[in-house]
A and B are shown apart, each in its own frame.
Chain A
């Protein structure tokens, strides 16, 4: 199961990918919308975890103009906790919007429910 994490915070990228690897995922990282888009078009990912506020635009741009067919779960992480952002993320192809600080177990549960898996390990 391949995951792409897009965030401009190097600590977040490092910690999140280590946690994902520990839980049996394969994790790639990108730190901007343009890098993320490049990765999404070159590699087939099952899961996308993206920060909303990226240096070159909003994370919601990653799934425009179309969400890759292979993507089984897309989760947006925001620092704002704005109700409008939550709604917007769903309109723009994300399955779920989470507010920082993210509880990792909850994040994993959300990914599993989005890809239609139970609690068993991938």
Chain B
């Protein structure tokens, strides 16, 4: 089936009757353009011819020495899938005609009406039909192949998206190229920092594919095509060059999918750059935090020790100064603690060491921590008695941190003469703590924003970092509890948080939880 329409046809005549062959020869001689005709006198000889070369049309007598040609039609068609078959019949029997068509003949001709024009026409139609059928089945095969190709492409792309290094991305890219395009050779070159990561796969010559592709990318618009070789330049979101993908494949029409793959590899390599930058920034931040937490505390320690020493032999006037020094040391230490806790929460490294703790004891200790502040601001601190044996499974220091933060906030935002109340009760197998104040309340439009980092009720009057509620919520969540509030402007606020009781906590879980 190499011929184009209009070219001379190649015909095979299979007939053992020399008279019939002569009649056919004569009829075909007048065909335009003159066809090439090969003759054979039986099925065996015909099969030899079909093995040797391709024919546009095979014309068979119905009766051949080996038997009726209808019996051999399926076998012959298999041998020559692109050829049309016409059978010459001696008698005009409708039944035989139908059987012939079913067996795969394109047409049949009665020897009784051997008219050249009729023969030319039949051959012409049969060949045209066969060609169309053949084209269609080829197209169908290609469609199936491309659809399988697309399926492999879609199912394998996650390997690239999840790659965490340029090397892994290049390897995944090459594996996918080879698989998707059924490629003899494939290569991925990624620009990583100042150098290239190059991964190739193939039958020993993939390196030459890579060097061809690198050369081809030097000029042109980022797409190169040479015989079975394709190469496409990779680009990041900002259009920067990120390397190339190249493939050698016998498959047709691979370019659209290859372009798609190149876009994906480009974006994946872009993401890797972003990921590495982010990881580097996080490492830098953690390094700074290590310095902050260790190295800022040492001089603070000395200031506090020095103040203690001076207090022993100082005058009344100096006591007030030392009080201020102490207060500022405490404040500075709090800021350092909050920064460290914030980083721990964000990196998921806030550890809580849980143990059964008495709720009553936690509440009394927390109240004692803020007693001075309440007295100074003339706030009445009410501690509601809870059930004696109420226990929570909690990190004592961390829960005291949450309680004193919430109490201290409540006192800070309640005018003199107001009330701050601390209570706890068992609710749905959890202990719910509640801190109620008669303060100014929180504007309803603040909502969950109060739990964001660096939130301040009044940014103009900021004193701390605005991390208190963010950390409190994180600490409670690290225990498996929740923290929330209800507030009415001008009436007051109520903060709640829950902790597991020793009954609800997993008995084997008296260990460490991670935020």
Residues of A within 8 A of B (CB): 9, 11-12, 15-16, 18-19, 22, 53, 77, 79-81, 83-84, 86-87, 99-105
Contacts and interface: CB of A to CB of B under 8 A. Distances in A.
Contacts of B333: 100-101
A83 B353 contact: yes
A86 B294 CA distance: 14
Interface of B: 293-295, 297-298, 300-306, 308-309, 312, 329, 333, 337, 340, 351-353, 395
Contacts, number: 62
Contact of B297 (A84, A86, A100): A100
Given A15-B302, A102-B305, A79 B329 contact: no
A87 B353 CA distance: 9
Contacts of A9: 298, 302
B394 to A, nearest CB: 13
B294 A79 contact: yes
Nearest to B350: A83
A14 to B, nearest CB: 9
B309 A79 contact: no
Contacts of A83: 351-353, 395
Contacts of A104: 304-305, 308
Contacts of A102: 301, 304-305
Contacts of A100: 297-298, 300-301, 333
A101 B303 contact: yes
A65 to B, nearest CB: 26
Contacts of B329: 101
Contact of A99 (B295, B297, B308): B297
Contacts of B295: 79
B297 A15 contact: no
Contacts of A80: 293-294
Given A12-B298, A100-B297, 18 more contacts: A9-B298, A11-B302, A12-B301, A12-B305, A15-B302, A15-B309, A16-B305, A77-B301, A79-B294, A81-B293, A83-B353, A83-B395, A87-B353, A99-B297, A101-B301, A101-B304, A101-B333, A102-B301
Contacts of B353: 83, 86-87
A16 to B, nearest CB: 6
Contacts of B301: 12, 77, 79, 100-102
B400 to A, nearest CB: 14
Contacts of A16: 305
Contacts of B309: 15, 18-19, 22
Contact of A105 (B294, B303, B308, B352): B308
A113 B275 CA distance: 51
Contacts of A15: 302, 305-306, 309
A102 B297 CA distance: 9
Contact of B337 (A12, A81, A84): A81
Contacts of A19: 305, 308-309
A81 B308 contact: no
Contacts of A84: 351
A11 B305 CA distance: 10
Q: Give the most central of A53, A87, A100: most B CB within 10 Å.
A: A100
Contacts of B297: 79, 81, 99-101
A109 B466 CA distance: 33
Contact of B302 (A12, A53, A105): A12
30 contacts: A9-B298, A9-B302, A11-B302, A15-B305, A15-B306, A15-B309, A16-B305, A18-B309, A19-B305, A19-B308, A53-B294, A77-B301, A79-B293, A79-B295, A79-B297, A79-B298, A79-B301, A80-B294, A81-B297, A83-B352, A83-B353, A87-B353, A100-B333, A101-B297, A101-B301, A101-B305, A101-B329, A102-B304, A103-B304, A104-B308
Nearest to A12: B302
Contacts of A87: 353
Contacts of B306: 15
Contacts of A53: 294
Contacts of A105: 308
Contacts of A81: 293, 297, 337, 340
B342 to A, nearest CB: 13
A100 B303 CA distance: 11
A101 B293 contact: no
A87 to B, nearest CB: 6
Contacts of B337: 81
A106 to B, nearest CB: 10
Contacts of B351: 83-84
Contacts of B302: 9, 11-12, 15
Nearest to B395: A83
The 9 closest A-B pairs by CB, nearest first: A100-B297, A15-B305, A100-B301, A104-B308, A79-B294, A79-B297, A101-B300, A101-B301, A101-B304
Nearest to A51: B298
A22 B312 contact: yes
A80 to B, nearest CB: 6
A103 B311 CA distance: 13
B353 to A, nearest CB: 6
A80 B303 CA distance: 18
Nearest to A105: B308
Nearest to B326: A103
